[in-house]
């Protein structure tokens, strides 16, 4: 195509003007960073079926307010853009594009959900934008070889299942295990983790593993068959509604195995109360965060600081939900990474710093639990502690267990 | 029984019988859920000759209304009756306001409105009461009957409720002038109008009754599956299957169809090797298709006869 000379000049001039006028451009031309701000993106389900989880996003916003009120990170204010995807993957992709291409965010932080994060996994890795500390427990987030821009945060389902396997091997080596699992990536991740943890004993110990579909009205039939398998250990890998149904049905038909409940459904208010506290007594699960309703932390300094934060920045937040604790701890982790990156806030360096944590501890993790990552280990949290439900609240027991 | 013969020991046989009995009873209990839904579907079909996709969501919303009344301190049966009455009025209003203007519109317009109603009711419930599960009380208690917990008191009570609703519906459609008028209005609107039936109001009455039955279904189902906005999504599908299997024109057939779906599904999951537990619903639906191929109007349906 030929261009008249005056036209070329016009192009050059307008290009210069655009660079000069671009609102957030800085000398180094780093995306989302200037001398005064760091722009961070987040995508949460503020509407739709998973909107209960939006408390994490709201806590993140509140904690960022606190960071900014206290002077920001290395003199820069964090500008958090948190968008709603309604837990719908196509919408997640749309919001991620907006954050990357229009808002020029440095990174996408703690986006919630497995299907939603899956929808932006390849896009963000193709663009070289960090997808940092995703709020989901699937195992695929720690795969630096194929997805070097994505990092997990919480202990993934496989890790948790491996911890249960260790507990079973140590305490009931001759036990027979029955598993109820959701027939999708999440359920199968747990089942695989359990098998891996049991090693060559897996085939002889797991006597029954029955799936359910999220469209099943009830899982009564599965529970009856699991009981009939003769198992004395029940691993309940179900989401809140089905987990509660399983707890109630097992009690109803008089099945009292060692009951291991996955952390997805360990909420007392949302699962154990509807299921019936008596039926839930004795259930075992695993944790890595301090439970704000547990009286053993009443005098704890970190807990007091968290309460102070909730008073000042998120007074309407639910203190009995571990989601507000989660949002607080994960944002503390982001704060650590940004501070450690100092003035080199390129996307490459932020990932490098995130991938070189060495026994980093943030408040509200259980005592003894720390985060370690490396160029080949993108799973920050891999330790948990077991706990047992006493009919009223969870009681921690035993040592911190690594997978 | 065959399995008993081939099994070696007597204890094995006892265990087999126990599992079989439990699965059948659990199937009847779950089937009761489908049967109640199927009754509401038959009712609306009798009135408008369409399937209402929002039927389940309307029942769910009614259950939430009852839950809210109970939360405000209403005694159970008062909340129950108030909810049924409110749902009846709501059903009539929906017909008068939304469907009356669409009376002469093609069937696809109705379809779109059903889907819209479905989405609106579902989101509205989520917006008002959020998506966490809530325990819903049962008027029959929660203790298991017969010691071993073969069937819960609530499930047993629900079977009684199904029998009552079924009997009332049967009598209404067969033995009252109003019921006959309603059926006439649906079967042949022109002739019905000529003999003095107010066809428009008959449709509204059908909507009201269907949503009242849906409310009963919602309040009976919620204690089993927990109350939440999505609790009826799959129940509706199973209810459709039950109603079509039994025959859309036959309340008794629909109830039996519901029970059959529940029991077949459980037995498929338990006794079909390898794929049983993963494909229990497809297996149950396959059996239904086979039945319908042999009897296109359902087990108890009759071929519609039209004079030309």
Can you tell me the ipTM of this complex? 0.85
Chain A: residue whose CA lies nearest to B25: A221
Q: Is B270 on the interface with A (CB under 8 A)?
A: yes
What pTM does this model have? Answer: 0.83
Please determine, for residue A26, whether its predicted confidence score (pLDDT) is greater than 50.
no
Integer-rounded Cα radius of gyration of chain B: 21
- Give the pLDDT score at B133: 87
Closest by Cβ to B30, choosing from A51, A217, A274: A217
Structure tokens of A181?
A: 């699992």
Which of A158-197 are b and which e, b meaning 16 or more Cβ less than 10 Å from the residue's Cβ?
bbbbbbbbbbbeeeeeebbbbbbbbeeebbebbbbbbbeb
Q: Which of B17, B133, B137, B228 to mutate to test the interface with A (most CBs of A within 10 A)?
A: B133
pLDDT digits (tens, 9 = 90+) for A332-381: 999 999 999 999 999 999 999 999 999 999 999 999 999 999 999 999 99
Q: Which of the listed ranges A383-392, B96-105, B149-158 does the model predict with the highest average pLDDT?
A: A383-392
Q: Is B141 on the interface with A (CB under 8 A)?
A: no
What is the C-alpha to C-alpha distance for residues B66 and B92, in angstroms, rounded to an integer? 19
What is the C-alpha to C-alpha distance for residues A389 and B161, in angstroms, rounded to an integer? 37
Lowest mean pLDDT of A371-385, B121-135, B290-304, name the range.
B290-304
What is the C-alpha to C-alpha distance for residues A237 and B112, in angstroms, rounded to an integer? 37
Q: Kindly list the structural domains of chain A, giving each domain's residue range(s) and its CATH number in brackets, ordered by start.
A: 1-155+288-382 (3.40.50.2300), 157-287 (3.40.50.2300)
For chain B, helix (H) and strand (E) counts, in that order, are 12, 2
Q: Which of A209, A220, A244 to mutate to test the interface with B (most CBs of B within 10 A)?
A: A220
List residues bridging with A365 in a β-sheet. A289
CA dihedral for A178, A175, A254, A275, sign (positive or negative): negative
Structure tokens of B298?
A: 């359902």
Residue pairs between chains A and B whose CB atoms are closer than 8 Å: 90
- pLDDT band at residue B216, thresholds of 50, 70 and 90? very high
- Give the pLDDT score at B100: 85
Q: How far is A252 from chain B (nearest CA, A)?
A: 6
Helix (H, G, I), strand (E, B) or coil at A210: strand
Q: Is B269 on the interface with A (CB under 8 A)?
A: yes
Q: Which residues of B touch A220 (CB under 8 A)?
A: 26, 29-30
B229 half-sphere exposure, CB direction, 13 A CA radius: 19
What is the C-alpha to C-alpha distance for residues B224 and A241, in angstroms, rounded to an integer? 11
Q: Is A13 exposed, middle or buried (0-12, 13-18, 19+ CB in 10 A)?
A: exposed
- Give the pLDDT score at B186: 83
Yes or no, beta carbons of A241 and B228 under 8 Å apart: yes
Q: Which tops the pLDDT comparison, B75 or B289?
A: B75
Beta carbons within 10 angstroms of residue A117's beta carbon: 24
Lowest mean pLDDT of A41-45, A274-278, B133-137, B278-282, name the range.
B278-282
Yes or no, beta carbons of A253 and B280 under 8 Å apart: no
Q: How far is A352 from chain B (nearest CA, A)?
A: 39
Q: Is B22 on the interface with A (CB under 8 A)?
A: yes
Q: Which tops the pLDDT comparison, B199 or A177?
A: A177
**What percent of chain A shows pLDDT beyond 70?**
93
């Amino acid at each position: 195509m030929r261009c008249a000379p005056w036209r070329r000049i016009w192009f050059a001039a307008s290009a210069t003007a655009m660079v000069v006028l671009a609102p957030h451009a800085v000398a180094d031309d780093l995306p989302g960073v200037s001398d005064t701000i760091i722009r961070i993106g987040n995508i949460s389900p503020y509407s739709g079926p998973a909107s209960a989880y939006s408390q994490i996003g709201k806590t993140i916003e509140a904690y960022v307010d606190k960071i900014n009120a206290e002077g920001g990170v290395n003199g820069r204010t964090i500008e958090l853009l948190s968008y709603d995807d309604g837990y719908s993957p196509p919408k997640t992709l749309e919001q991620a594009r907006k954050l990357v291409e229009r808002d020029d965010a440095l990174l996408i932080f703690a986006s919630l959900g497995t299907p939603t994060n899956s929808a932006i996994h390849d896009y963000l890795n193709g663009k070289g934008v960090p997808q940092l500390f995703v709020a989901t427990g699937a195992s695929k987030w720690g795969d630096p070889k194929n997805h070097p821009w994505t990092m997990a945060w919480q202990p993934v389902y496989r890790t948790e299942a491996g911890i249960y396997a260790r507990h079973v091997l140590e305490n009931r080596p001759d036990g027979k295990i029955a598993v109820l699992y959701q027939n999708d990536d999440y359920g199968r991740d747990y089942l695989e983790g359990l098998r891996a943890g049991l090693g060559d004993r897996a085939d002889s110990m797991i006597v029954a593993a029955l799936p359910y579909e999220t469209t099943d009205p009830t899982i009564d039939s599965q529970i009856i068959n699991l009981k009939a398998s003769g198992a004395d250990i029940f691993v309940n890998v179900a989401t809140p509604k089905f987990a509660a149904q399983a707890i109630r049905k097992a009690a109803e038909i008089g099945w009292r195995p060692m009951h291991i409940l996955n952390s997805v459904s360990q909420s007392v208010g949302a699962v154990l109360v509807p299921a019936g506290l008596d039926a839930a007594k004795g259930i075992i699960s695993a944790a890595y965060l301090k439970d704000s309703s547990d009286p053993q932390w009443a005098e704890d300094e970190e807990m007091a600081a968290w309460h102070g934060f909730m008073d000042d920045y998120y007074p309407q937040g639910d203190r009995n939900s571990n989601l507000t604790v989660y949002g607080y701890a994960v944002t503390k982790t982001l704060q650590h990474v940004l501070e450690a990156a100092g003035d080199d806030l390129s996307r490459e360096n932020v990932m490098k710093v995130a991938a070189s944590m060495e026994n980093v501890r943030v408040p509200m993790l259980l005592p003894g639990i720390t985060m370690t990552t490396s160029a080949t280990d993108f799973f920050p949290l891999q330790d948990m502690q077991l706990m047992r439900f006493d009919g009223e609240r969870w009681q921690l027991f035993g040592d911190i267990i690594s997978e | 029984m065959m399995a008993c013969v081939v099994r070696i020991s007597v204890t094995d046989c006892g265990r087999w019988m126990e599992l079989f009995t439990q699965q059948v009873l659990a199937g009847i209990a779950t089937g009761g859920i489908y049967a109640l839904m199927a009754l509401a579907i038959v009712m609306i079909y009798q009135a408008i000759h369409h399937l209402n996709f929002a039927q389940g969501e309307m029942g769910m919303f009614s259950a939430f209304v009852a839950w809210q009344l109970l939360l405000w301190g209403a005694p159970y049966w008062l909340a129950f009756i108030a909810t049924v009455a409110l749902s009846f009025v709501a059903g009539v209003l929906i017909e008068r306001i939304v469907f009356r203007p669409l009376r002469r519109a093609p069937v696809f317009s109705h379809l779109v409105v059903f889907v819209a109603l479905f989405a609106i009711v579902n989101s509205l419930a989520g917006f008002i009461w959020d998506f966490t599960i809530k325990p819903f009380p049962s008027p029959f208690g929660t203790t298991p009957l017969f010691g071993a917990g073969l069937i819960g008191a609530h499930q047993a009570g629900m079977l009684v409720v199904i029998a009552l609703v079924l009997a009332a519906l049967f009598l209404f459609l067969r033995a009252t002038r109003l019921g006959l008028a309603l059926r006439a209005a649906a079967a042949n609107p022109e002739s019905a109008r000529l003999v003095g039936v107010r066809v428009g109001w008959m449709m509204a009455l059908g909507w009201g009754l269907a949503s009242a039955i849906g409310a009963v279904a919602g309040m009976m189902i919620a204690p089993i599956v927990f109350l939440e906005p999505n609790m009826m999504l799959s129940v509706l599908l199973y209810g459709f299957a039950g109603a079509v299997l039994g025959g859309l024109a036959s309340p008794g057939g629909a109830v039996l169809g519901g029970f059959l779906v529940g029991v077949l599904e459980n037995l498929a999951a338990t006794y079909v090797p390898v794929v049983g537990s993963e494909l229990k619903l497809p297996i149950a639906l396959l059996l239904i298709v086979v039945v319908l191929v042999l009897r296109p109007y359902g087990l108890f349906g009759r071929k519609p006869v039209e004079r030309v």
